[in-house]
Structure 1
Amino acid sequence: MKENWIRGNRFTLLENGEAFFPRVFEVIAKAQREVLIETFILFEDKVGRELHATLLAAARRGVRVELTIDDWGSPDLSDGFISALIEAGVIFHVFQPAPKLFRRFHVFRRMHRKLVVVDGVRAFVGGINYSADHLADFGPEAKQDYAVEVEGPIVAHIHSFALAAVAGETPKRRWFHRRPKWPPLASLAPAGDARALFVWRDNQEHKNDIERQYRLAFRLARERIIVANAYFFPGYRFLRELRKAARRGVKVTLILQGNPDMAIVKTAASMLYHHLLGSGVEIYEYCKRPLHGKVALVDDTWATVGSSNLDPLSLSLNLEANVMIHDRAFNAQLSASLEKLMQHSCTRIDINDLTDSEAWRPIRTFFLFHLLRRYPSWAGFLPAHTPRLASLRAPASPDHAGDLNQSAMQ
């Protein structure tokens, strides 16, 4: 499928909560007409409370605010927290709501995107949730992560996508061949030199779009590939492109979790180490704190930032969104950040350090090969349904000010 790369954009890298949260809150505080937010996790901690206050202020001055959370990722918001938003006029959406007793078992096909669009002219895309564990003062478990601030014509495409999502619709690529209703695409003047593509993953027409963009970039790589990803256990075709690139002389580097937030993450990724190292891929484990980033770069022009991990959940089940960026300046900025991680906070893995036995390795390789080759199709057998978006908003009639209107959209 031919992709329409959009020219005239500017991307600003935001590393960790220290850069991301103040900038997002500042932009929302200046919003004049509309704020759309999607997030997997919203906690009622100091970050969540600051977002709460910022959204309340925006809604009270007449800005249309729509906030979407994932029910599994944000399970513990209090009634008071939610009610205050709704009473101020915020439209509050819950993706795939489930009874509290069963919520923690309801893990498939989550809304894992992290998007913000303000007034249809500025957007934020990345992997950072609204929780205090994205700040360094959280301690050793604070996450290392990335997002981008987006300006330029590509924002109109992200805006169209976000509007479709809160309307309960399935966005389609053909949306982007038409002007969104508001703001007009022509009103978004060029803001920079970057070409960009907004790409998402869903369980209808765009099941492998993000992975396909990764594989295409790897196939075209000539000098280097750097992938920094928190949860790494991709499919066979993804790994094949990485190994082929390394074998033709491209310097391929992976930055993975060495201090994982979940032990299974490192266990799963390490099963691939011998397979990758034997092909010339370099592997670094980030050990300073948990890595939560989902970024990559190829050569000196291509980069991606978004919400998609490189594991079965993100590649086969969850709803995700990334931006693909062609821009030397942004590539250099992201490259400097990743090089700093490798130099100061990572341990390089050597093939001679691997301790798996020679007898076990062929058996493991056999099963891994067939698992990785088949799991995307196997994932389709997991619970398939049309997800619900439950929406809470203040009633239109002042005679029923104590009630909440709720609707479920397919």
Structure 2
Amino acid sequence: MKRVADFAKDHRVRLLQGAQELFPAMTEAMDAAISDIQFETYIFDFTGSGAQVAEALIRAAQRGVRTHLVVDGVGTGPLPKTWQQRMKAAGVQVRVYSPLGPLGLLLPHRWRRLHRKLCVVDGLLVFCGGINVLDDHYDPNYGELDAPRFDFAVQATGSLAAQASQTMELLWWRMQAVRDVRLHRLPQAVRDLRAASAARHARQQDRDARGIRAALVLRDNVRNRSRIEKAYRRAIGAARHDIIIANAYFMPGGKLRRALILAANRGVRVQLLLQGRYEYFMQYHAARPVYGALLAAGVEIHEYEPSFLHAKVAVIDAHGEKPWATVGSSNLDPLSLLLAREANVVVEDAAFAIDLRQRLVHAMQHAGRRMDPARYAGRPLRQRVLDRVAFGLMRLALWVTGNRY
């Protein structure tokens, strides 16, 4: 399998759990920004603590920092008029990725969404993970939550920050440029950006030459169509002791399922922490038909119940010779792995992997319910029918898009 990630050992990486840890770190970085802030998110909601992030963007723009915000046309929709006006007056430049238009999601090409959550400050500091701009205790569809949403992000410095910055800059140009700008100004912009990124990289290497080994792994519909899934499969194939995956929308394709089953068959302990609460029909029911083969192979499935599990993380062999961990936006389902723009950070560092592992084990032990294979096999007929209907609809949707999974 060819290389799927460009690793460098010049990083400082910090694990952040929930908006309660991410938003203060992010707003602190924005308040210290000197030149530019690049921000992409699937959901930008202004309720509760989400407003803190919006206020930080406005403060930065008001003092002259170039501030770019990209939100997804499905996940976010129209911004509230008051916030639109405030951002525009401050100088925050906002773009909507793939607005739906009159036919909405009836057009299959509209299923390709911007699902990554990235924020780069001054080209040197990056935040990446699964956390939207959304208060931990609030859900747009269900209102106030009894317990905080379970999710993670990382804060990192190093060469992957420059890579994230370049990726976001190119998307920004593609979204806003008219034909003459694309033909005449974009090549020069790319050259300037690459030069700036190289300079930032050199400065960061000088400062963090003994840092953590990490990489940014992207998924798009051009050059990086399968890199995140391949990164998972390679790490699972190399596992020797244990695998823990926490994933919100879990419907792995055949290759990924076989990799997990083979790992379990060779004696690796495989534990999955998955969504236990009903959120969406497809997400809840389409996942369940794949559980049977995993349970039969000895894979442990734990369902998270206190609140919505939104994490997209994994840790493998944290205490072994080759620890591996990932935190990002990509679910292990067809929408993330075949259609959406996603971003994950992969970290090969024992201390980071152990920290993440401890948090996931605690969640499984104190907030999860282990699925009993007999109970799964004996679930009511109505539920099994709904599971199969959802699974069939998902396969039909993939056929419409021309994808195999």
TM-score range, shorter chain: 0.7 to 0.9
Unaligned runs of 5+ in 1: 383-410
Q: Partner letter of residue 348 of structure 2?
A: H
Cα separation, 2, equivalents of 1:53 and 1:82: 12
- Structure 1 pair 261–235 and aligned structure 2 pair: CA distance change class (3 A): same
Is residue 285–residue 387 contact of structure 2 (8 Å, CA) maintained in 1?
no
- Structure 1 pair 359–45 and aligned structure 2 pair: CA distance change class (3 A): closer
Cα separation, 1, equivalents of 2:391 and 2:58: 51
How far apart are residue 205 of structure 1 and its match? 1.9
Q: Partner letter of residue 80 of structure 2?
A: S
Q: Does 1:145 align with 2:145?
A: no
Cα separation, 1, equivalents of 2:124 and 2:144: 32
Cα separation, 2, equivalents of 1:342 and 1:265: 20
Residue of structure 2 in register with 1:74 after alignment: 76
After superposition, give the CA deviation of every residue in 1:90-138 in whole Å (9 maximum; x if it has no partner): 1111101234x65465651110110000011111000111122456994
1:113 to 116, 127, 132: 116
- Structure 1 pair 191–78 and aligned structure 2 pair: CA distance change class (3 A): farther
Residue of structure 1 in register with 2:36 after alignment: 34
How far apart are residue 141 of structure 1 and its match? 6.6
Cα separation, 1, equivalents of 2:44 and 2:103: 19
2:256 to 229, 234, 238: 238
1:211 to 229, 247, 253: 229
Matched ranges for 1:320-331 at <5 A:
320-331=342-353
Q: Does 1:226 align with 2:248?
A: no
How far apart are residue 379 of structure 1 and its match? 5.9
- Structure 1 pair 111–333 and aligned structure 2 pair: CA distance change class (3 A): same
Residue of structure 2 in register with 1:378 after alignment: 399
Q: Does 1:303 align with 2:325?
A: yes
Identity, % of aligned positions: 37
After superposition, give the CA deviation of every residue in 1:13-34 in whole Å (9 maximum; x if it has no partner): 1101111111111110111111
Cα separation, 1, equivalents of 2:68 and 2:104: 23
Cα separation, 2, equivalents of 1:357 and 1:236: 23
Q: Does 1:18 align with 2:24?
A: no
How far apart are residue 370 of structure 1 and its match? 10
Residue of structure 1 in register with 2:129 after alignment: 126
Residue of structure 1 in register with 2:354 after alignment: 332
Q: CA RMSD in A?
A: 3.3
Is residue 10–residue 158 contact of structure 2 (8 Å, CA) maintained in 1?
yes
Q: Partner letter of residue 324 of structure 2?
A: W
Unaligned runs of 5+ in 2: 176-181, 183-189
Is residue 17–residue 135 contact of structure 1 (8 Å, CA) maintained in 2?
no
- Structure 1 pair 16–312 and aligned structure 2 pair: CA distance change class (3 A): same
Residue of structure 2 in register with 1:293 after alignment: 311
Matched ranges for 1:247-258 at <5 A:
247-258=265-276
Cα separation, 2, equivalents of 1:349 and 1:317: 30
Q: Partner letter of residue 129 of structure 1?
A: N
Residue of structure 1 in register with 2:178 after alignment: none
Q: What's the secondary structure of 1:335's corresponding residue?
A: helix
Residue of structure 2 in register with 1:391 after alignment: none
Cα separation, 2, equivalents of 1:21 and 1:260: 27
TM-score normalised according to structure 1 size: 0.83
Cα separation, 2, equivalents of 1:59 and 1:336: 39
1:352 to 374, 383, 387: 374
Cα separation, 1, equivalents of 2:221 and 2:88: 30
- Structure 1 pair 18–359 and aligned structure 2 pair: CA distance change class (3 A): closer
- Structure 1 pair 185–375 and aligned structure 2 pair: CA distance change class (3 A): farther
Cα separation, 1, equivalents of 2:129 and 2:221: 20
Q: Partner letter of residue 152 of structure 2?
A: Y
How far apart are residue 378 of structure 1 and its match? 3.0
Residue of structure 1 in register with 2:294 after alignment: 276
How far apart are residue 52 of structure 1 and its match? 1.9
Q: Partner letter of residue 250 of structure 2?
A: F
After superposition, give the CA deviation of every residue in 1:41-93 in whole Å (9 maximum; x if it has no partner): 01132333222211111011111100000111111412331132122221111
How far apart are residue 167 of structure 1 and its match? 1.5
- Structure 1 pair 94–368 and aligned structure 2 pair: CA distance change class (3 A): closer
Is residue 20–residue 136 contact of structure 2 (8 Å, CA) maintained in 1?
no
Is residue 152–residue 192 contact of structure 1 (8 Å, CA) maintained in 2?
no
Residue of structure 2 in register with 1:47 after alignment: 49
After superposition, give the CA deviation of every residue in 1:225-260 in whole Å (9 maximum; x if it has no partner): 111000001110010000000000111111111113
How many aligned residue pairs are there? 375
How far apart are residue 206 of structure 1 and its match? 1.4
Q: What's the secondary structure of 2:298's corresponding residue?
A: coil
Is residue 235–residue 375 contact of structure 1 (8 Å, CA) maintained in 2?
no
- Structure 1 pair 7–205 and aligned structure 2 pair: CA distance change class (3 A): same
Bigger share in helix = 2
Q: Partner letter of residue 133 of structure 2?
A: Y
Residue of structure 1 in register with 2:160 after alignment: 154
Cα separation, 2, equivalents of 1:341 and 1:312: 26
Is residue 124–residue 162 contact of structure 2 (8 Å, CA) maintained in 1?
yes
Q: What's the secondary structure of 2:174's corresponding residue?
A: coil
Q: What's the secondary structure of 1:354's corresponding residue?
A: helix
Q: Partner letter of residue 25 of structure 2?
A: R
TM-score normalised according to structure 2 size: 0.84
Q: Does 1:187 align with 2:203?
A: yes
Residue of structure 1 in register with 2:215 after alignment: 197
Q: What's the secondary structure of 1:92's corresponding residue?
A: strand
Is residue 6–residue 195 contact of structure 1 (8 Å, CA) maintained in 2?
yes
Q: Does 1:165 align with 2:183?
A: no
Is residue 251–residue 281 contact of structure 1 (8 Å, CA) maintained in 2?
yes
How far apart are residue 357 of structure 1 and its match? 7.9
Is residue 228–residue 296 contact of structure 1 (8 Å, CA) maintained in 2?
yes
Q: Partner letter of residue 78 of structure 1?
A: P
